[in-house]
Amino acid sequence: MSTLLISALDVGGVNIKAAVVEVGKPHRLLGFCTHYFPIWKIGKEGLGDALNQVNKTLRLECDVVALTMTAELSDAYQTKREGVEHIVDTVQKIYRGKPIYVLSTSGSFFHTEASIKAPLEVAGANWVATAWLAGKLLNSCIVIDVGSTTTDIIPVLRGRVAAKGKTDLERLQNGELVYTGALRTNLAALTRKVPANGVLTPISAEHFASTGDVHLILKHISEDEFTVETADGRGRSLGEAYARLARIVCADVEMLSKEALDKIARYLYKVQLNQIVDALKKVLRGVEPKDVKVESCLTLGIGRCFLAKPAAAKLGLRAYELSDLTTLKPSIPETAVALGWLLASKLGGDADLCM
C-alpha cells in the first residue's frame, strides 16, 4: 500500500513554517523547516519563490497540501480577501495538480474555491490547529502560544476549541489574540514610560528597539534565536541590543550604564508578562460551561519558557510543553506540525504522531 505524504504550510507575514507528515498508524513527522519571509518587505510577488525554497529545503515530494495563513493581514494586501486569494492561488501554482486543503476557523478544511469565496473563514486560522492538538493531548486546557509577533490564548474544553472569537478582530476583543511577541514587538507599544537612572521617563514613539533586544539582554534567547531583523538593521550582539534599548529614552550606551539598561529591560519584561497575564485572566473568566475545570495549559512558541510558563504560574495553571506530552522536540514549527497532524487524522484516522 502506497503512503500518503502531506505538506503542511503555515504562511505567515514573517515566516513560512512547513512540515511533512506521512499518514499512517502512527502518523510520522518526516521533515520540517521555517523560512524567513517578511512578505510586506520582500513583496507578495516573492511568495512563489519562497515556497519553492521551502520545498528544496524539505526535499520530499508531497501528495496533498494542508494550508493555513496569517500573511493576509500584512499590508502587502489591501484586504484579507485579496490576501487569501493571492496566497491560495500561489500555492495552487507551486503545487500543480495536488489537492489543497485550507484550514478554516471552524476546524474543517475547505477546498481552494470555497476558501476564496469565504476568505474570513480561513484568514488567520492557524491557531485552530494548535488548539485541536491541545484538545487531543490535554482535553481541557488553555493554549498559550507566544510567537515572534503575537500571543494566542485559546480555551479548549472537553477536547473541543472553545474560543469566543473567530476573526482576528473578534479574538483581539476577547483577549484570545494579544499583539505582543517575543521578538518583533516595538517597545513603544508596551508602555509609555520606563525607569531610567531612577526617573520614570517617557519613551520615544519611534521603532528604536524591539522585544527581541529585551529578551536577548535578559538571556531569555540566544543570538541565533533572534531570527528577525533588528529595529536598526544592525546585528544581534548583546552590545548592539544595549545600544538599541538606550535609544528608546533618546540616550546611548555612553549615557546609560549596563546596570541602568538591565533595569529597563527587566521593567519592560514585567510589563509584557503582565499583558499576557491580563489577557489570560480575561479568557479564563469567559470560559463556558462553568462546570469545566481548567487547571493546565499547553505552552508553545519561542516565548513558551519565559513568557507563557510564568504567565500560567501566576494564575496557578500547570504548564506543559509538547515535549512533555509527545516525542516531538521543542524546535519544531508547531503550527505547521499540528496542521499536518490534523489533516492526517482526517484523511487516515486518529493516531499518534511520531518523529
In this prediction, residue 290 carries a pLDDT of 79
pTM of the model: 0.95
| Exposure string over 290-325, b if 16+ CB within 10 A, otherwise e | eeeebebbbbbbbbbbbbbbbbbeeeebebbbbeee
**For all residues of the chain together, what is the average pLDDT?**
96
- Is 298 in contact with 144 (CB distance < 8 Å)? yes
Partners of 216 in the β-ladder = none
Helices (H) and strands (E) in the chain, counts: 12, 15
Cell of 155: 480555551
Which conformational region is residue 90 in: left (phi greater than 0), alpha (psi within -120 to 50 degrees), or beta? Answer: alpha
Cα 219 to the chain's mean position, in Å? 21
Which amino acid is present at 31? G
Which amino acid is present at 223? E
Domains of the chain: 4-129+325-354 (3.30.420.40), 187-273 (3.30.420.190)
Average pLDDT over residues 152-176: 96
Cell of 260: 541602568
73-118 pLDDT tens trace:
999 999 999 999 999 999 999 999 999 999 999 999 999 999 999 9
**What DSSP line would sit under 119-132, residue for residue?**
GGGTBT-HHHHHHH
* Of 1-15, 142-156, 212-226, minimum mean pLDDT range: 1-15
In this prediction, residue 288 carries a pLDDT of 82
- Is 66 in contact with 42 (CB distance < 8 Å)? no
In this prediction, residue 351 carries a pLDDT of 83
- Is 16 in contact with 126 (CB distance < 8 Å)? no
> Distance between CA atoms of 193 and 249, rounded to whole angstroms?
9
The answer on pLDDT for 1 being more than 50 is no
In this prediction, residue 354 carries a pLDDT of 84
Which amino acid is present at 204? S
DSSP state of 307: I
In this prediction, residue 341 carries a pLDDT of 95
44-74 pLDDT tens trace:
999 999 999 999 999 999 999 999 999 999 9
Residue 274 in 3-state DSSP?
helix
The answer on pLDDT for 332 being more than 70 is yes
The answer on pLDDT for 2 being more than 80 is no
- Is 256 in contact with 196 (CB distance < 8 Å)? yes
